[in-house]
Structures are given as C-alpha cells and as structure tokens.
Amino acid sequence: MQFNLMPKPAEISSTTGEYRLQADFKIAITGAPQQRFYATATRFLRRLGERTGLFFEQHVLQPGEEVAQPSLLINYRRAGSVQLGEDESYTLTVDAGQILLQAENDIGAKHGLETLLQLLNADGDGYFFPGCEIIDQPRFQWRGLLIDVGRHFMPVEVIKRNLDGMAAMKMNVLHWHLSEDQGFRIESKIYPKLHELGSDGFYYSQEQVKDILTYAENRGIRVVPEFDVPGHAASWLVGYPELGSAPGPYKIERGWGIKYPAINPISATVLEFLDNFFGEMAALFPDPFFHIGGDEVEQGDYHKAEHWNKNPEIQAFMKKNSIKDNAALQAYFNRHVLEILTRHGKIMIGWEEILHESMPRNIVIQSWRGTTAMVDAARAGFRSLLSKGYYIDLIQPTAFHYLTDPLPADTPLNASEQKLILGGEATMWSEFVSPENIDSRIWPRTAAIAERLWSPANVNDVDDMYRRLEIISRQLEEHGLTHEKNYEMMLRRLTRGHDITALKNFVDVVEPVKIYRRNDLREHTSSSPLTRVIDAARPDAKVAREFGKTVDRYLQKRTFEQVQKLRYDLELWQKNHEQLDEIIRISPVLQEIRPLSEALAHCAAFALRALEILEKAGESRASDFAEVKKWFIAAAENPGQIELMVTPAMEKLVAAATNEHSTEKKH
C-alpha cells in the first residue's frame, strides 16, 4: 500500500486487514497518563471527527474514565520532558480489531497520534485506517523553525497556528527571534523602555509569552528565545543609548540589510544591564538554551566597522589587552555573556560568528553561511545546528531544502564528531512577510525540512516527497494555517474584486525573486506594502514545476497524453494576456506585471509552434522564430520582482524544434 505520511517513519510495513472507523470509536489511555496528554488525545479525537464528519460518542478524555473495549489503546510509561534529548519514539500497530499505540512517554505518543491521523483513508464503505506496523523515532533531536518577529511583528494567533503545524510535522523547537534593529518585541518589567520605545507598540506582554510557552509545551515543542547582541541592536539602544558603542541618539531602523549600531562590548554598564535583563528572561523562558544572536557584527572588511573602530575607548582597550581584531573583541564580550547566562542556568547558543578558539566548548553554534562552520565546530568539540540550506525566506525550491542534510553521506566528521550535530532549523526571516502571507513562506516547504530532520537519511525520493507534500499541505489547513486559502484572497484584492481567473493563471507560474534580490531590485522598508503580486506568488510554483517535468518527459519519450497536456497549458498562457490586460487596466497595482504577462503570451506561442513542428515532423523556418530571442529575454526580466518559471521549459521545446527540424540543417 502507498502511505501518504510525512515525515516518513523509520520503519513501516503493511499488514492484512484494516480498522473501520465508526461513531463508537473510543480511546483509552493506560500507563502513566497525565492531564497534558488527555488534552492531546481529545484534540486528536476532535480533528478526527472534523475530517470524517462522524459523531463520536466519546467527547472529552478525562482521568479516571473507564473505557470498555477501546478502539485505540494508548500506553506510555511516563510523562515526557519537553527538553533536548527526550525519547520521542513510538510504535503503532493497526489491525481490524484494535489500534495500539505505545511509547516511552506522552511526547512519543503524541507523535504517534499525528501519524495515525495521516493514515486515515476512505473508500465507498467509509473511513478506515489501513493495517500496518510502524516503529518510529527521529534521526535528529533538534528539529526547529525560527520565526523572526523583530522585522515584522507576528500576532499571537500566527505563532500558535504555526506551533500546531510544527507539532503535526513532529518538529520540536520554536526559535523565537525577539529583537532586531527594527523592533524589540517583548515586555520587560525591569527595563520597560526596551518595548515602550523600541517596538512601535508591537510587542508581546509577558502574560502572552507565558500563554504561548504553555501552548508550545502542550504540543511537545521547546521555545528558545533569541535576543541579538552585540549587533542587530538598534531597538535596544533607542531607549537605552548608553549601551551603545557610538554617541546617541538612536532610532528604530526602517530599512533592510546590515545595520551597524552595536552594543559596547567593554562596558560594565552593559554587562550589568544584560545580567538583569537576561535574568528576567531566563526566569520567563524555561528552556535551558538561550540564543544571543551574535551575527553580522563589526568584523573586518565583511562589514563597515563604524561603531567599534571609531570608539577611542574601545580601541584603547583592545590595544591594552592585546585583542587583535573585532572577532577577538566579540569573543571577549561573548565570554562575559556566557558567564551571565551560566549564572542564570542557561546554555548559550549563537550564530556561527560566535565560534572562536577562545570560547568554552559548552556553547552551541548555529551555522547559517555554510557547513564549514558546523564541521569546524564539531571538530573543535562544539555542538552545532545547521540552518544553511533551510533559509525558507530565500524562496528556494522544496527539493533544494529536502536534499540538504546536516550529515550527508560524504560528511568528513567521524562518529564521535557526528554526535555533536544536534539537527537543524528552518529560518523564517521576516523582511518580506506579514501575518497574511507568512504561512505561505513557511508551509508546505518546511514539512519537507521536518522530514529531512526526522526520517532516515535514505528517505530522499524527491518525486515521492512532492506527491506526499501536496496531500499534507491540505491537511495542515485544519490548524488554521493560511498558506493555501489566502492565495486567492490576495488575488481578489489585487483585481479589486473582479474575476481572478486570468491573474491566477499568471501568478500560478511565477515566483518571487530569490535569495536577496528583492531589496536590490526595489528598496523596501518595514512599512512597505506586502500586498503586491510578489507577495501573493508562492515559492516553488507547482504549475510551473509540473510543466517543466512534462516537457522533460516529452523530449525523452513522446506520448499522446504529454502532447495534450503541453498543448492545453501553452494555449492557456498564449491567450491569457488579453484577458489579464483588461484587469490590469482597472487595477493600477497590477501594471508592473504587464510586460511579463505579455512575454508569457509570446513565449507560449513560440513553444506551441515548436510543439507543432516536433509533432508533425515539419520544418522550422527562420520566420517561425524570428522574434523568439527578444521575448525570451523579456521573460527573463523581473518587473514586479517576480520570475517567470515556465519559460526555461518553453525554450527547451524551441531548441528541440530548431535543432531537429531546421530547414538550414536539412539543406
């Protein structure tokens, strides 16, 4: 049987029989149940009812409830700890008589319930769970998602719905990036000017933080806060300029890119401030790990070292103490921060810039620029995480993230060094996301990253991943995630409420420009609108990806079905511009995409002509493709900061037609 599970379990085998679902479906919990898991099991039952429409007789699972002949028997031996290294394994057996879920603790049992929901199937006789045996456990113990709320603030409901999505994908760490040049996003009762002056009024109260922490813990998810020091610090310094390395006043930064306000690394006032503030936050966040950022500070030519290099006291201090460069100065500062965090019972984690030979080995390194830092860290005895390759804000294809492995087959690390690789994190930096479209940047691609971090290394079939991902993407919507439904809503606004068909045909085959090109092509600030075509367009456009695959298959072995599909798509795009242009005329925000829409129509026409030549074994004439180069060049431009994703495949058709059936070639 074909299973549609994600992450794919470590071991799964089909068995005969199936469990047929009826309204008398009941759950019993044995072993060492506690209140947290009763709520988990009740949520499972509600989700199962919502998927099937069945009116289950069991309502809310409660301690002390006796369930005769349960349909699903859950047994675990102890309450799990939401901490690094906890046993998350489970076994699941489904047969016609009963479903048995066993785990060491309730966290593993929770994972098993997510798998069971994904197993749900249906036929003409109703809903059923297929017979199977599953033995499952994660490959890596740290499977995280970073959500940056500093650049653009994300309300509580955004965080909660993404926590639910993470739990469904068996992810277990929310890395909460809470301070940035553009905003300080948490209430401090000790230093209130941090949030009062550094947030534009957008921050979480400590009560809201506690609510989110409880919500996460109930889903088996740790929350690691990040407060970026000594760089990315403008929002710290608005209210407390005395912490800075240059004279104030400071202001909240509105633009994107690397900013240079930096905390003074030699100041006793700074260390006292951080001791008090980190102590306040350490008491609020229970997880032992505490992220200090530490990236993109003033280090040599890589940045404009304005604040440290031009401070005479800092320069004199470096000379007196034989601190040779800014990297060593940052390491000096980090050692003091480490002392502070250690006193407060925390383990320091930071981006790869904190990696320095002078640092103690009890810190954790997070690699964002490449695997080299992670390998170097492991060889030097540091624990580390991989984020390079999981930067989902860069709009790269799902397959790219999926095939990025913290421990690839050719890793240079030996067995003991490999144990220092904790796992990885997807990173959702928020320069270009709002509460409206952030889910479309996180999901469904992060589900593929979740699988890479959970499943065995040999689970790497890209085509099968995409097949399952489409199914899982729809299931994720039950958590209130908006990655699917907000797409057409954003298109309706762009058309001013008119028919979106032509616009959707176009946006289905474009993607936002990738890596860091968006701000290079058009400067943005934190108040720039995030409602244009680029913001509605989704990463890894499915229509474009499938068209490209069809072209490749057609050119290898031509079939009638492939020809029909190609002809249908090309005729659609050829005719679409005329209809879309009518909408563009009444919706000025769409005018920036007109050149690309026109280019799509012309390129589709050339590709149709190429297909005709290939199918009829006709001859191509120079006049057939006289302007082809012009339009493919136009299609490669980025008006509106978007990319047409179908034209490379169209060019393949044209190339095949001109190479195989060139008049000049035959004579």
Cis peptide before 7 (omega within 30 of 0): yes
CATH number of 142-477: 3.20.20.80
CB distance 316 to 308 below 8 Å: no
For CATH 3.30.379.10, list the domain ranges present in the chain. 11-136
Among left, alpha and beta (phi > 0; psi -120 to 50; other), residue 480 is: left
Averages of pLDDT over runs of 10 residues in the chain (667 residues) are 95 96 96 91 97 95 90 96 97 97 98 98 97 98 98 98 98 98 98 98 98 98 98 96 93 91 95 98 98 81 66 95 93 96 97 90 93 90 96 98 96 96 98 98 98 98 98 97 97 97 98 95 96 98 98 95 97 98 97 98 96 83 84 95 98 90 48
Question: Whose CA is closest to 573, among 615, 636, 526, 510?
Answer: 510
Q: Residue 389 has what DSSP assignment?
A: T
Give residue 661's pLDDT: 63
Question: How many other C-beta atoms are found inside a 10 Å radius of the C-beta of residue 521?
Answer: 14
At 667 the pLDDT is: 36
Question: For 24-76, what is the HEC assignment?
Answer: CCCEEEEECCCHHHHHHHHHHHHHHHHHHCCCCCCCCCCCCCCCCCCCEEEEE
Backbone angles phi, psi at 566, to 5 degrees: -65, -45
Confidence at residue 373, expressed as pLDDT on a 0 to 100 scale: 86
Q: What is the pLDDT of residue 297?
A: 85
Residue 665 has a pLDDT of: 44
Dihedrals phi, psi of 245, to nearest 5 degrees = -95, -10
296 flagged as catalytic: yes
Q: Is 265 helix (H, G, I), strand (E, B) or coil?
A: coil
Are the CB atoms for 37 and 61 separated by under 8 Å? Answer: no
Residue 162: phi and psi, rounded to 5, are -75, -30
CA distances, 51 to each of 47, 94, 127, 474, 545 (Å): 6, 19, 10, 12, 29
pLDDT of residue 662: 59
Residue 18 three-state SS? strand
CA distance linking residue 559 with residue 65, whole number of Å: 61
> What is the predicted pLDDT for the residue at 305?
53
Taking residue 416's Cβ as centre, other Cβ atoms within 10 Å add up to: 9
Level-2 CATH architecture, domain 11-136: 2-Layer Sandwich (3.30)
- Residues 252/235, Cβ–Cβ less than 8 Å: yes
Q: What residues does CATH 3.20.20.80 cover in the chain?
A: 142-477
In terms of C-beta density within 10 A (0-12 exposed, 13-18 middle, 19 or more buried), how is residue 498 classed? middle
Catalytic residue among 104, 114, 226, 296: 296
CA–CA dist 106, 103 (Å, integer): 7
Q: How far apart are CA 586 and CA 600, in angstroms?
A: 21
57 exposure class (CB count in 10 Å sphere: 0-12, 13-18, 19+) = exposed
3-state helix, strand, coil in the chain (%, to 5): 45, 15, 40
Residue 155 to residues 161, 162, 649, Cα–Cα distance (Å): 11, 11, 41
